[in-house]
Structure 1
Amino acid sequence: MSISLEGRGLHRSFGGFKALDGVDIAVEAGQIRGLIGPNGAGKSTLIDVLSGRADNWGGQIYLRGEEVTGLKVHERRRRGLARSFQRTNIFPALAVGTQLTVAARALGNEGLDDVVEALSLGHLLDRPAQQISYGDQRRLDLALALVGRPEVLLLDEPAAGLTVEESLQLAAILRDLVKKWGVTVLIVEHDMEVIFSICDRITVLHLGKVLVDDLPDAIKTNPEVISAYLGSQAP
């Protein structure tokens, strides 16, 4: 299996605090990789570094075997690396359809039908984003990341604030997209039901380092993971 996204020796510090301390990660093409760990473990920092939204960091990043370490956010985006955010990256006053169209034109791709259909947004295209439900705003945020059909998608807590039902619906959408479009996903998520229901493999961060990287069933029973993070959360 080929590697879609790889980070080697990634490190980033804030003063004397090492947010990332020599992290290595390699995500196979078409895989959904979970990224979990306690608060402050370095999960969002890793997503920022991989997506190009961080400064003062070190290491190397490869996209489909091509080094993209020095590329800016928009350059990585054009090469097929997209992301979503903990807080929705949408424009409240703009209509849903307008936002998607602007994003598509910026990427030189106006083929939005598949994205709109996949995220069930067709009935909301004329409505300002501030007038749709929070769950729909989350799906819009995901749709904006999917415009242009990226090969690698970084998701930073996409289920944050969603109900259990909405979270599971989102998980089903992600699994379906991976199957239909072959997109590779690295997902940070605190909802363990989502993580264990869709991930092919899980990387656990702790104190800026990779604590363990293994299959979901092994993660559930790993004593180090349970002690550091899962505890009573283990399904």
Structure 2
Amino acid sequence: MMIELIPVGIFIGAMAGFFGIGGGMILVPILLVLGFETKDAIGISIVQMVFSSIYGSYLNFKKGSLHVGEGIFVGFGGFVGGYIGGYVTQFIADVVLQFLFLGVLLFALFRLFFSQPHEGEGRTRTLGKGLLFGIGLGIGIFSITLGVGGSIILLPILVGLLQYPIKKAVSAGLFFVVFSSVAGLISRLSTGTIDFGNGLVVAVASLVGVAFGIWLKDHVTSKNHKMALLALYMLALGMLVKKIWF
């Protein structure tokens, strides 16, 4: 099983770098197809997200595409929420987690589909620090419970509601994952509910893909980036539906 997880990790890392996601939205369904239980898949996903988000955010910062600014308040909220979410998972049945994940994917598809890509910074809206913290808190609780970094929820909010340029939103989304995933890892480790061995295999392999994904992100148009995001969400949705009903 470990050998199979190496190419999975590289692929997920590329997705994380390119889309600004932790990778859980696609990794969890893949692990379910490979035969892992939902809660084990979520644990492996959290380990991978810690590695890919920290490395990816470092690369984005070096390239100048990550501006911390307001993101730090969302991040702190995500840390608190992610810590809480790590405890919540063990009390929720697998089938409930799967349907929650399905709802998140449908929400993300709806928001992104009806958003307009913005290239410039002029139309970006701002929010108060307290509200930003609250958004991060809610996303952190919900996302880590599902084994995703939260960017899957944050990206549609940034692009669809706050009118962020999509590439700025992608970098901000991956930065958010640092906070939520680290907190989720801490709380999940304290409950002993993480498959750390398989998680490290996927996580280390993902670092190779992250660098490629970020390079690719910087060489595509915003319109094509959005179309690729929609395709990714559809893929994850299809895999999850297959797991639930077939």
Query: Could you tell me the TM-score, scaled by structure 1's length?
Result: 0.31
Larger relative strand fraction: 1
Query: Could you tell me the TM-score, scaled by structure 2's length?
Result: 0.30
**Structure with bigger gyration radius:** 1
Larger relative helix fraction: 2
